[in-house]
Amino acid sequence: MHCDRFREAASARMDGEGSPVPAAALAEHLAGCPACASWESAAASVTRRARLAPAPAVPDLTAAVLAALPARLPGAAAAARARLVSTALRLALLAVGVGQIGLATPSLLHGAGAMSAPVHMAHETGAWNLGLAAAFLACAALPRLAAGALPFLLTFTVVLTVTTVGDLEAGHVHADRVVGHLLLVVGLLLTAAQAWRGRRPRAGRAAAGVRVLA
């Protein structure tokens, strides 16, 4: 029982672990105990052979693994299409935003409004167009903002469409002025598409979470 403590300390020293016995005490015991010294020598030999033994040959399975892989990973084509559609939406929104800036600039800089509108009214119109441009450009840069911008854009577009139809029937607005509003409608549709695309992954993750909890 007395030797077990020293043998444990010798084993720990061979494994590079902390020894429960001071090194001097262990060396003194090994020097005076032939049984423990023999045991320590045999253990050291076994440890050395185990560490220096050659690793068994392992077959090269690289070719077999590569051959088992599918030609295209599942979902790769769908992911590529999704990135392509997302890029197209963002570029289209960017173009709409730039177009809105083009509509806003004359009104803001020169007070030039359609149908000889007063200067302040022209400035207000320019400010609205510039705000719409900022919304479209923000959604193009950060698609996650599309859902938040959609209520404002939808309300503005619906109200403007209803009033424009009434003004056309009453002869209060020219057709060329109405054409400029089509840019807003296009921007609204693009923003709605972007908001819908951003909503689907979150809905899928939420459904998956419900299934896991269930």
Rounded to 5 degrees, what are φ and ψ at 158?
-65, -45
Which run of H or E residues covers position 91?
helix 76-110
> What is the rounded distance in angstroms from the CA atom of residue 3 to the CA atom of residue 44?
17
Query: How high is the pLDDT of residue 1?
Result: 47
DSSP 74: T
pLDDT attached to residue 72: 65
Q: Which residue numbers in the chain have pLDDT < 70?
A: 1, 51-53, 55, 71-74, 76, 111-118, 176, 200-214
Q: Residue 78, Cα to own-chain centre: how many angstroms?
A: 17
Nearest to 192 by CA among 162, 158, 148: 148
**Residue 173: per-residue pLDDT:** 72
Residue 73's pLDDT is 63
Q: What local confidence, expressed as pLDDT, does residue 111 receive?
A: 63
| Per-residue pLDDT reduced to its tens digit, 129-156 | 889 999 999 999 999 999 999 999 999 8
Contact 175, 167 (CB under 8 A): no
Q: Is 135 exposed, middle or buried (0-12, 13-18, 19+ CB in 10 A)?
A: buried
Tell me what pLDDT residue 134 has.
93
Through-space distance between the first and last CA atoms of the chain, rounded to whole angstroms? 57
